[in-house]
Amino acid sequence: MSRSAHPAGPRHADVMTEGHYTAPPADLNALDEKVWARTVTRDEDGVITVGGIGVTRLAEEFGTPAYFLDESDFRARCRAWADAFGRDADVFYAGKAFLSRAVVRWLQEEGLNLDVCSGGELTCALDAGMPAERIAFHGNNKTVAEIERAVAVGVGRIVLDSFQEIARVAHIAQRLGKRQRVQIRVTVGVEAHTHEFIATAHEDQKFGIALAGGQAAEAVRRALTLDGLELIGIHSHIGSQIFDMAGFEVSARRVVQLLAEVRDEHGVELPEIDLGGGLGIAYTSEDDPREPHEIAKALGDIVTRECEAAGLATPRISVEPGRAIVGPTAFTLYEVGTIKPLEGLRTYVSVDGGMSDNIRTALYDAEYTVALASRTSDAEPMLARVVGKHCESGDIVVKDAFLPSDLAPGDLIAVPATGAYCRSMASNYNHALRPPVVAVRDGQARVIVRRETEEDLLCLDVG
Ligand code: LLP
């Protein structure tokens, strides 16, 4: 396996189809609805619009680079997940994908819960009025202060990630006179990415407590004896950008086996299992994601079947999609600055952002696509690499994609499917100012995270 393969990447390097962009698409102006947010289209002048507003107007008003988020698409995806899983299951949006106070309000309005994994995310959630009981608190090394706060405000569950944390949370809860609802995160020996999963030898990671060697059973034993804890279930998260349900199947089977062992040993049937997030989205036309109702049915069937086989009542299921909700709802808009054709290779198109607003290409070898957004063009396609303005040759936003050969400085180009893990992983590298997130809905655009300013940079630098 390639050393550059990253567990969170859309593809392992060893299954990446080499040069799959060597043939240009039939129509460079077409917008594949799989990849673009739902209200994205081109107007009669060929300008890409979202929520009824053209990108030329958006760029004038909000500048570039900027993320434009299709609010009605975000809300529709929340509803689709909530409806698909129904009343007997809980959907926790994974805030790490992208979190802001507006997002927290949309989640509440659309009936979703929230998974946070830091004190900062918890603050954002509480500040925007998310009821604490609808929050799950994750993380492999929560600080004592974070745990104290989570317990004190009454989060719905803390997902315990280590033996130390079992003792720590129990102690803090007892000290605060509380009984904290908790789940134990286990590693089931499965790692899944995109179209493959590996069912052995993936305990070698920092998260969770291994099922192997009776570790997870021991964790359950301890949690059940501690007064400060109410153990409500087992949690498993197997990877990112997954299309193949086979990894979930193995995971669910192993978690249910643990539930059966717990019943046999302690006479207790734990009422919940959480199968984590990781469901894939389309970054390019080659990706084929599943709809929430298919995922809900597949997961429900697996858990029901395994529980029947083990003679257990079916537990309440929860899931934690992040990318699958917010990922497809946004695109990043850039202005083209310079264009360098390299004879026999490709054309480098430099934009006004880069790895500071999308680190995923550099970090995970992620695939993206790109479209000329401020107009259409009938010019011949050229093989392009969209790069940023940072002092680093790995500063690539889109590795290989076709753009029209009449592309010119000043044109606007848009990279779709940047809603997840782009703004949330953005940095100030080279003192870049992190771009704003603008929510667009029914002809109205409003900033939900403003652009950083140079004053913002300097106010952290105390001189
Ligand atoms: N639940 C747990 C416990 C997780 O660790 C994660 C992601 C999720 C849910 C949400 O996964 P999602 O549905 O969004 O794939 N920065 C990487 C992804 C890291 C994901 C870490 N955990 C990326 O850009 O691909």
393-408 pLDDT tens trace? 999 999 999 999 999 9
Instruction: Please tell me the predicted confidence (pLDDT) of residue 14.
Output: 39
CA of 319 to the centre of ligand 1 (A): 12
Which residue in 78, 117, 307, 391 is the catalytic one? 391
- 391 is known as an active-site residue: yes
What integer is the mean pLDDT of 190-215? 79
Q: Is pLDDT at 390 greater than 60 in this prediction? A: yes
Q: What is the pLDDT of residues 94-118, one digit of tens each?
A: 999 999 999 999 999 999 999 999 9
CA 41 to ligand 1 centroid distance, Å: 29
CA–CA separation, 153 vs 156, rounded Å?
Answer: 9
Predicted local confidence at residue 199, as pLDDT:
63
Per-residue pLDDT reduced to its tens digit, 233-266: 999 999 999 999 999 999 999 999 999 999 999 9
Confidence of residue 21 (pLDDT cuts 50, 70, 90): low
Sign of CA dihedral 361, 365, 371, 377: positive
Using most ligand atoms within 8 A of CB, pick from 77, 320, 397 the residue to mutate for ligand 1: 320
Does the structure show a pLDDT above 80 at 294? yes
Q: Which residues form the pocket of ligand 1, taking CB atoms under 6 Å from any ligand atom?
A: 8, 94, 96-97, 115, 138, 237, 240, 276-279, 320-324, 360, 364, 420-421
Test site for ligand 1: of 283, 323, 326, 329, most ligand atoms within 8 A of the Cβ: 323
Query: What phi and psi values does residue 331 have, to the nearest 5 degrees?
Result: -130, 160
Q: pTM for this structure?
A: 0.95
pLDDT at 122: 98
Which residue bears the tokens 């695939």?
367
What is the C-alpha to C-alpha distance for residues 456 and 463, in angstroms, rounded to an integer?
Answer: 14
Mean of pLDDT over the chain: 93
Nearest atom in ligand 1 to the alpha carbon of residue 424 is 16
d(CA 385, CA 114): 36
CA distances from 90 to 112, 269, 320 (A): 8, 19, 9
The DSSP code sequence of 266-321 is: HS----EEE----B---SSTT--PPPHHHHHHHHHHHHHHHHHHHT-PPPEEEE--
Asked if residues 205 and 154 have their Cβ atoms less than 8 Å apart, the reply is: no
**How sure is the predictor about 414, in pLDDT bands with cuts at 50, 70 and 90?**
very high
CA of 322 to the centre of ligand 1 (A): 7
Identify whether 25 is preceded by a cis peptide bond (ω within 30 of 0): no
pLDDT value of position 7? 43
How much is the average pLDDT of 121-148? 98
| Domains of the chain and CATH, by start | 3-70+328-458 (2.40.37.10), 138-321 (3.20.20.10)
Residue 84's nearest CA partner among 317, 288, 315 is 317
pLDDT tier for residue 202 given thresholds of 50, 70 and 90: low
pLDDT higher than 90, residue 22:
no
Distance 455 CA to ligand 1 centre (A): 32
Least Cα distance to 277 among 242, 328, 308, 229 occurs for: 242
Q: Examine the pLDDT at 424 and tell me if it is beyond 50.
A: yes
- What average pLDDT score do residues 415-444 get? 98
Kindly tell me if the per-residue pLDDT of 1 is higher than 50: no
Q: Which residue positions form the known binding site?
A: 278, 320-323, 360, 364, 392, 421
DSSP letters, 365-415, are ------EE-SS---SPEEEEEEE-SSS-TT-EEEEEEEEETT--TT-EEEE
Is the pLDDT score of 426 beyond 90?
yes
Residue 63 pLDDT > 70: yes
Integer angstrom CA distances of residue 306 from 168, 181, 355:
33, 25, 44
**Rounded Cα gap, residues 248 and 462, in angstroms:** 49
pLDDT of residue 3: 34
Q: Which atom of ligand 1 is nearest to the CA of 237?
A: 3
Nearest CA to ligand 1 atom 15: 278
Q: pLDDT band for 4, please (50, 70, 90 cuts).
A: very low
| Residue 376, C-beta contacts closer than 8 angstroms, at least 6 positions apart | 29, 42, 46
> pLDDT (tens digit, 9 = 90+) per residue, 156-185?
999 999 999 999 999 999 999 999 999 999
- Whether residue 435 contacts residue 451, with contact meaning beta carbons closer than 8 Å, is answered with yes
Q: How far apart are CA 258 and CA 186, in angstroms?
A: 10
